[in-house]
Structure 1
């Protein structure tokens, strides 16, 4: 077999040749194909083929190998060179071959996902960021799979054992695990019992077992040798040879895998209950569920319980049925064959299949958990900002006192203070704390108090509500403070507030989260924001990649004010990195505010490509050019000027907006040499310059009175905010210390697969109290009114 594709490097050259040989030359003769491909090779890759004759020879070898059946769908040529990868991506993701090619080509040219999604819609068919990333990720995954296939084929070929059937099976395998299963019999092994037995010459004895000859024990005496001192030991060695061979039977292993997947159960038993003080894993002390129906959160719970030593995990199999599969491989039966079957199944195959199943269950569960965390994070980042408000950040604590920080309407810190509002503080300290808080409200015109939801939050909320009785115009909000302590101890926080303690920085972060959640939360490692489940039990690399993608996507969708954004926020803008972001901030400090997008080019290290990718996402309200404060990309400024000229627009007043709304997009796009989708986006930006699409999302719920769990009654109607969505339900802040739980079964009268089909983090929801556990301070809620069928 000639693996001629290895001759074509780099990848782009291979693709060029492949496309020529599989598309444009389908109807040409072999001679024409030789000439065309030879020409391409000789002109595009002289460093690989010094002489045109060399490229001709390559083509000649190709066609000697494949000309007979290369057009057949089952042929090796078709599988390798009709770009099955693109076909697979198209089928799995529901996108066209053109969309795939466009996305991968733009990515190869250095375009970022946000840029492609926003400014190349006419080329991609308006694919969004998620679809674009899916194409890129699947392309990478399939490339890695194909690379492994080639490596496996080469190794088996070296052994001279590569059959046409085996090669075809490897080429059509869709999972890496399936490729490894096919490779298993040919894989280089460490010295096993079977290896030693074969080296001792016991293979003929193994054949005698299969032939079921009379008096095997006596025949085995002839095979006594060093390491196998008796006939019994020799028979044991022969059994080892057969066990290894049977356990590597690809068909039997595949049948066993399917059997386990469909019918076996994953079980758990209590191993050491003393390690489970809070009885978190109690429901798993005696648990079993069919492998094929395992929910992701249960898989992760079992994994965690096992890791902590609380649970023992196992499987229940229909072992007799599996043993019967293996027994069919033998035409005869004897005690040794029975032993071969027993050992193959119980010691070799089932343990390997169990490991594979648990790995696959974990990977699937992690994928679901990461996706859920990502969805929750996106919704949290898109919570509507409370712009233009003076906010007091309140970081609660018992013994060390509450840390307060007042920030003005732009997020600038005005003052900080420590008060002692709750016990163990004395009555005098608490009274002083009331006076101090009232003074801050009056002195700085505080409009909203943001209270962190950590330690002493409930007591602090009651304290704030008491003070606000004298300030009816002031409200408070409970803010998720997860990650605030991480930020306050970070290098970024030290740079922002070098003279403040960690606790006071945390209070500033809490206040700013209310003003602009996105701008503040990007300063924190997304994994530290508590809006997921089992986030510490999943692949941290995959989790980080997914969450970073979410942050990047949201930041670019919202846009960034280049004159106020922190380096942390700027670094998420398409085309920018940490160094360029810091250079932008330094440039602002040295040169003053940036007044146009063109001026951004003067920032050190910000080259032409970075500008192309970033410019459209950077907003400049101070610019004299209104387009600089919109999502219109500078590459389209000339077209917009022409548009204004044709419509006689000088200002974006009501008349101008009316003209833009009544415009025939298709016709004007042709006249301006723009794509229709691009023009639609331009018009949307011109109709609402400086728009923040987060304003269309729910804002935080403002409160003035505290609610105690003792005040609740079953059936009571409440308003709340969804704080977290998990696989089994959603947690809702209804104004008491602990968030209430809406179980998935109480979300809809219709069947739903996941809570995210109904609610998202940040949603304002109307709920009814379903159950109250005052002792454990737990409240169960329902989205269904009491008169509806639950």
Structure 2
């Protein structure tokens, strides 16, 4: 017994498929590239690193595709783990059969494994087929399917339950045959194919009001729940009598149906047409009846096939279809959320400007914060703009004085409560000339997540002296200066750029959004000598602990002079360095700033040592050594060895520095001039004349890597690709919804994108919606932050809805 347990424990269960094959087939990618990606992921490589620095291995896969491969791999690895656990459990119970073995090893989803395992679990009475097998009927059932004559009368045993009559024997044999049919690989594959060809529907209807009233302490506890349910019901009215082919249903509709079903508002079902059953019966009859000889046995087997379809196959197909619809809807929703988040994080920063941030409010006032061009907080305060007219006038003068004192150039206003009223005040101030310059503009900023950030640990560490309400105003100002650096401090799901995120698998959503943040931060690049821990920990290959260690090293040793110094940081390691080094930038200014100070310290220490030698201590008879002489030599040696490398301010990875130097020599350009206008012009000119393929061949280098180096040569040092994107939408005057007219054309900024349309801030109290049917040829290209021109199609103030038609999209 002990030996059997040991054998079972050591048993390795391998499915009859390989992850690389399935993923390549599903995503229509080459098996080689998928296999390479899986190898890289298993070695600990990150998506940004693979996407940028391993293009030769992945055949230029984009980060989005790499994420799909990673997600598919994670799912299949989960299936492998589940399969091994379940397989061993079934084997231990002695219930494993050849059919089960084949079915388990062909399962590619956890749902399929669980459906096979459900009737075999300990404590379960067992399936009808199992009970029949326990009576010894399996041999005769298989004989029927293999041209053997079986006399059922001889199997009757009046003393044995389940065999007392011929009818009982027939029922047991039918259950076994039905089980064999439902586990036949070819039969199930045909059943799935038939479903794909047929007009399968998803239907929903309103749940009948049959709720039972529960009493608690003499009080009807269900009343409040009923009222809440009635409030929610109107949101799902369009699904009270809903019917649509599964091939046509939209992702947001599936998620809405799931939510309503969970709330007990709707009943949802999958309907497979009767024609599907007929087609399956034709296939199964050809497969299983061809060897059956006697007519009565033929009838028995046909009944078993009908039972297999009605009781086992159709319900399984319905569950799988519903599961696939939900899975695909979640995936699509996460994709849209990720795309919106990426566009939001990569909005063009407004650099080198002093900004006044306003977090609007009525009763508790508007919170103000002035932030310098380097994001430092210069001033904070509260004004009450929405009280009496006399007080409003006085507060307007106070705001004008603050703007004048700190020479603010832009004002940001949060889009929450009292936004439009505050916007009206600021617009009036600009129009009436309250400010020192008539060029002052304001911008509406999405304040989603600002209140969460203001009480977070990051905010407490960063702004410990400020009240949480004022931290929100600081955050709004900084969101305009550098959206990426500020928004990474907030959990992505709180940024208001997705829909139905609460109905999606939280782990999958978190993983996907974290990957998008990591990609954006890494591809933009981080200056290691000036960045915050919140930003640094999002770089590929780093985490909170490693980021903390990097900043502690910076604090103790001064600014990093080059990327190689990263290897001196405790806990980073060679793998961590490989993953993060290409995304970390070191500017010449910050690299040399501390070294200048160190050089001054060395000079002073050497001078002290010389003076000590002039006045020796007589007691010892030896020249007194300066106490700081040892450390000063180390610092001097550090300066000699650790020199700034201009490639450290580019996206070229340290592993390719030698190749970059060879390429510069091949092109005839001077590396000391990298980043200058002349250097960039020369590279542009010579890369069009020179054969890069020839260079790759001579140096055994991959063309994608060489092209990445060339692109870096064509950019200024510390290049930020966000500079090519649109600026935020600045305004000087405000409109009201009452000013809108159907047919009018207005401009606005997209605030959210969904599967059914895009929401647009057009400068009034209500965001308008461009339904997907009104997007024209731009339906696939719109993103958060895009500037658009739209025509007002309809206005429904009672439901707070504005319908828009897209006219054009401003070029990014």
Partner of 1:678: 705
Query: Aligned ranges for residues 240-639 of structure 1 at < 5 Å?
Result: 242=174, 246=178, 249-250=181-182, 262-271=198-207, 275-277=229-231, 279-318=234-273, 322=277, 350-422=314-386, 425-469=387-431, 470=433, 471=435, 472-621=438-587, 622=589, 623=591, 624-639=644-659
Q: Which runs of 5+ in 1 are unaligned?
A: 1-5, 15-75, 212-218, 786-790
Structure 1 contact 746–784 (Cα < 8 Å) conserved: no
Instruction: For 2:659 and 2:301, locate their aligned partners in 1 and report how far apart those are by CA, in whole Å.
Output: 81
Structure 1 contact 263–318 (Cα < 8 Å) conserved: yes
Structure 1 contact 323–341 (Cα < 8 Å) conserved: no
Structure 1 contact 153–162 (Cα < 8 Å) conserved: no
Q: Deviations over 1:604-650 (max 9, x none)?
A: 32323222221221112223532221112223334444555562514
Instruction: For 1:483 and 1:684, locate their aligned partners in 2 and report how far apart those are by CA, in whole Å.
Output: 36
Partner of 1:118: 52
Secondary structure, aligned partner of 1:723: strand
Instruction: For 2:560 and 2:31, locate their aligned partners in 1 and report how far apart those are by CA, in whole Å.
Output: 42
- How far does residue 282 in structure 1 lie from its aligned partner after superposition? 1.4
Structure 2 contact 129–176 (Cα < 8 Å) conserved: no
Secondary structure, aligned partner of 2:568: coil
Instruction: For 1:678 and 1:253, locate their aligned partners in 2 and report how far apart those are by CA, in whole Å.
Output: 47
Change (3 A) 1:321 1:507: same
Aligned residues: 693
Instruction: For 2:772 and 2:514, locate their aligned partners in 1 and report how far apart those are by CA, in whole Å.
Output: 28
Partner of 1:51: none
Partner of 1:72: none
Partner of 1:62: none
1:723 aligns with 2:751: yes
- How far does residue 318 in structure 1 lie from its aligned partner after superposition? 3.8
Structure 2 contact 204–269 (Cα < 8 Å) conserved: yes
Partner of 1:191: 125
Task: Return 565-574 or 88-97, whichever deviates more.
Answer: 88-97
**Aligned-residue CA RMSD (Å):** 4.2
Structure 1 contact 583–604 (Cα < 8 Å) conserved: yes
Change (3 A) 1:353 1:187: farther
Secondary structure, aligned partner of 1:598: helix
Q: Deviations over 1:407-465 (max 9, x none)?
A: 1111111121112222xx33343233322222221111111111111122222221222
Q: Deviations over 1:280-302 (max 9, x none)?
A: 11111211112332211111001
Partner of 2:603: none
Partner of 2:619: none
Structure 1 contact 247–253 (Cα < 8 Å) conserved: no
Q: Deviations over 1:206-264 (max 9, x none)?
A: 99xx99xxxxxxx99x8666989x989x9689758745763673167666656666334
Query: Aligned ranges for residues 110-259 of structure 1 at < 5 Å?
Result: 110-142=44-76, 145=79, 161-162=97-98, 177=111, 190-192=124-126, 194=128, 198=132, 239=171, 242=174, 246=178, 249-250=181-182
- How far does residue 87 in structure 1 lie from its aligned partner after superposition? 4.3
Secondary structure, aligned partner of 1:678: helix
Secondary structure, aligned partner of 1:249: helix
Q: Deviations over 1:571-603 (max 9, x none)?
A: 121221111111222333344433332333333
Secondary structure, aligned partner of 2:235: coil
Instruction: For 1:600 and 1:176, locate their aligned partners in 2 and report how far apart those are by CA, in whole Å.
Output: 42
TM-score normalised to structure 1 length:
0.77
1:773 aligns with 2:796: yes
Change (3 A) 1:197 1:557: closer
Change (3 A) 1:235 1:97: closer
Instruction: For 2:322 and 2:235, locate their aligned partners in 1 and report how far apart those are by CA, in whole Å.
Output: 22
Instruction: For 2:135 and 2:60, locate their aligned partners in 1 and report how far apart those are by CA, in whole Å.
Output: 67
Instruction: For 1:671 and 1:333, locate their aligned partners in 2 and report how far apart those are by CA, in whole Å.
Output: 76
Structure 1 contact 202–223 (Cα < 8 Å) conserved: no
Structure 1 contact 299–362 (Cα < 8 Å) conserved: yes
Change (3 A) 1:417 1:659: same
Structure 2 contact 560–586 (Cα < 8 Å) conserved: yes
Secondary structure, aligned partner of 1:464: helix
Secondary structure, aligned partner of 2:479: helix
Structure 1 contact 406–413 (Cα < 8 Å) conserved: yes
Q: Deviations over 1:517-557 (max 9, x none)?
A: 11111111111111111011010100111111111111111
Structure 1 contact 243–341 (Cα < 8 Å) conserved: no
TM-score normalised to structure 2 length:
0.75
Change (3 A) 1:450 1:265: same
Instruction: For 1:267 and 1:481, locate their aligned partners in 2 and report how far apart those are by CA, in whole Å.
Output: 39
- How far does residue 100 in structure 1 lie from its aligned partner after superposition? 3.5
Instruction: For 1:193 and 1:168, locate their aligned partners in 2 and report how far apart those are by CA, in whole Å.
Output: 18
Change (3 A) 1:734 1:125: same
